[in-house]
Amino acid sequence: MAPEKWRCEDFSFSDQQLISIDGFLKTPDHAISHAVLQNFARITPQYPGVRAALPARVCADWLTMLAPLLDHWFGAPAGGRGWAMQAWYSLVTTPPHALIPMQRLPHVDGTDPAQIAMMLYLSPGGPHGGTAFFRHLSTGLEALTGETYPRYAAAVQADHARTGMPPAAYPTDGAPHFARTHVAEGRFNRAIFYRGNILHSGVIDNLAPLGTTPADGRLTINAFFRPAAE
């Protein structure tokens, strides 16, 4: 892991920060080999693919290294609580025609701005890329909170009442109801960090096949960092 080589970008109208680290793992091939041995399964209806939990000892080692940087980048959790972490190997495997409506829109990982998301890209190449970020046009929202979510949800329902449900495809430019504000390139062994309440989506080529194994698919490690329970 090379957390000292990080870069910060300010993006969006709401001055959100995106942190990226190239060459995140010293031996990324080892992580891919370990992923091949895992039993992947569908865990939540929101994610369009399968996941396998990262070992607890790996999470503990990463958290030791990353916690001081998370404090620096996003602010330390209140009360000195520190961070808790969950992480998974993840493979996008659902073809566009099989996406349910919620998977055809940009999404958030939650409405708590204190939750930080990490994406580590482990695909050596191919048509499926990084992560795109969006603004909802009718509300102007780029990030959702518990306070703004009801207004956003009502506006999305109104959008679909006017134009119908979005087609069965992964979001690309966000049209007609979203605008893409930024794209984080999914470079091999690059990790990015951002607040999980920002509207975002994986950059998936709707015309290209999706691999179904860690060796040929869009393999990432997804992690969430939350303030630890008191």
pLDDT digits (tens, 9 = 90+) for 7-17: 888 776 677 89
Please give the structure tokens belonging to residue 88.
Answer: 């998974």
Name the CATH code of domain 17-227 (choices 2.60.120, 3.30.1380, 1.20.144, 1.20.120). Answer: 2.60.120
What's this model's pTM, rounded to 2 decimal places?
A: 0.95
Q: What is the pLDDT of residues 126-138, one digit of tens each?
A: 789 899 999 999 9
Amino acid in the structure at residue 38: Q
Q: What tokens appear for 218 in the block?
A: 């869009």
8 Å CB contact between 192 and 146: no
Which sequence spans correspond to the domains of the chain? 17-227
Cα distance between residue 32 and residue 77, in whole Å:
32
Q: How many other CB atoms are found less than 10 A from the CB of residue 223?
A: 22
Instruction: Report pLDDT digits (tens) over 175-227.
Output: 999 999 999 999 999 999 999 999 999 999 999 999 999 999 999 999 999 99
> How far is the C-alpha of 40 from the C-alpha of 155, rounded, in Å?
36
Sheet holding 131-136, edge to edge: 178-184, 131-136, 200-202
